[in-house]
C-alpha cells in the first residue's frame, strides 16, 4: 500500500467506530455435566439390557473360576432322580451344541443366553454346552472363568431344569449336559397326540 493509498484509507475510516470485542472466557466443564453424562450412559446400558432381555449376570470376573476337574451338577426341585441319573450318564442325546472355547465372558454370556432361548423355542430338550477345561497354561484362566460363568448362568435360567458335567466320551468336565423345560408348543403337541382317537365324555 502506497502512502497516498494509506492516507486515503485512513480518511475514509475516520467515522468508523471499532466493534466491541467480548472478553473470552475459558469454559471448564462442570462436575454436574459430567455426572449427567455418566448417568445417561448408565441408563442407556440398562435400557439395552432390558431390550435384549438377557438376564444373565454381566460381571463374569466376579464369578468364582472353577478347577478343570470340578464336576458341575444341578437339578431343580421336582426333577425325578431317574431323569437326572439318565442326564448324568449321557443317555439323552444332545440335539444341539454350543462351543464357548476362546470366547470372552461378554460374548459367551450373549451366545449362551441366545442359544438356550432359541433351542427352547424350537422344542429341544437336551443340549450340550462346551466351556473347556483349561488344562493348558494359556487357556487355564479363561476356561476356568467360563466354566464358573456357565455354572452360574445356567442356574439363572428358569427354563434350565438340570445340568451335569459330561461323560469322558463327550468332553468330561470340559462340557455340560443341559436339560430344558418342555416348551408350551411341545406340551400342546403332546396333548393333541395323546387325545387323538380318544372319545371325549363331555
Is 141 inside any structural domain?
A: yes
Helix 137-156 vs helix 105-121: crossing angle, to nearest 10: 40
Is 138 inside any structural domain?
A: yes
Is 169 inside any structural domain?
A: yes
Q: What is the pLDDT along the chain (202 residues), one digit of tens a residue?
A: 566 777 777 777 777 666 666 666 555 555 554 455 656 655 555 545 445 688 898 875 567 788 889 999 999 999 999 999 999 999 999 999 999 988 999 999 999 999 999 999 999 999 999 998 866 665 666 667 899 999 999 999 999 999 999 999 999 999 999 999 998 776 677 666 666 655 555 5
Is 191 inside any structural domain?
A: no
Cβ atoms of 180 and 161 within 8 Å: the answer is: yes
For 60, residues 6+ apart whose C-beta sits below 8 A from its C-beta are 105, 106, 108, 109, 145, 146, 148, 149
For 126, residues 6+ apart whose C-beta sits below 8 A from its C-beta are 87, 92, 93, 94, 95, 177, 178, 179, 180
The CA radius of gyration of the chain, in Å to the nearest whole number, is 32
For 124, residues 6+ apart whose C-beta sits below 8 A from its C-beta are 95, 96, 180
Is 159 inside any structural domain?
A: yes
Max Cα distance, the chain (Å): 119
Domain holding 95, by residue range, is: 60-182
Phi, psi of 175 (to 5 degrees): -145, 165
* pLDDT value at residue 50: 47
* Grid cell of 114 as nine digits: 441366545
User: What is the rounded CA–CA span in Å between residue 176 and residue 193?
Assistant: 32
SS3 25: coil
Is 10 inside any structural domain?
A: no
Query: CATH code at 144?
Result: 3.30.1370.110
Q: How many domains does the chain have?
A: 1
pTM: predicted TM-score of the whole model, two decimal places: 0.67
| CB burial string 161-197: b at 16+ within 10 A, e below | bbbbbbeeebbebbbbbbbbbebeeeeeeeeeeeeee
Amino acid at each position: 500500500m502506497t502512502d497516498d493509498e494509506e492516507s486515503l484509507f485512513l480518511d475514509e475510516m475516520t467515522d468508523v467506530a471499532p466493534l466491541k470485542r467480548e472478553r473470552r472466557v475459558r469454559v471448564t466443564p462442570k462436575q454436574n455435566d459430567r455426572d449427567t453424562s455418566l448417568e445417561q450412559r448408565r441408563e442407556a446400558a440398562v435400557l439395552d439390557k432390558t431390550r435384549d432381555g438377557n438376564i444373565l449376570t454381566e460381571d463374569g470376573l466376579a464369578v468364582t473360576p472353577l478347577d478343570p476337574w470340578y464336576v458341575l451338577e444341578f437339578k431343580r426341585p421336582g426333577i425325578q432322580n431317574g431323569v437326572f441319573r439318565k442326564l448324568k450318564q449321557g443317555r439323552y442325546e444332545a440335539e444341539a451344541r454350543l462351543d464357548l472355547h476362546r470366547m470372552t465372558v461378554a460374548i459367551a454370556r450373549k451366545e449362551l443366553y441366545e442359544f438356550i432361548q432359541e433351542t427352547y423355542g424350537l422344542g429341544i430338550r437336551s443340549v450340550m454346552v462346551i466351556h473347556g477345561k483349561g488344562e493348558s497354561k494359556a487357556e487355564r484362566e479363561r476356561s476356568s472363568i467360563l466354566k464358573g460363568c456357565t455354572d452360574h448362568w445356567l442356574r439363572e435360567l428358569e427354563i434350565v431344569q438340570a445340568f451335569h458335567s459330561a461323560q469322558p466320551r463327550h468332553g468330561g468336565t470340559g462340557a455340560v449336559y443341559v436339560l430344558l423345560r418342555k416348551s408350551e408348543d411341545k406340551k400342546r403337541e403332546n396333548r393333541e397326540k395323546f387325545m387323538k382317537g380318544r372319545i371325549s365324555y363331555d
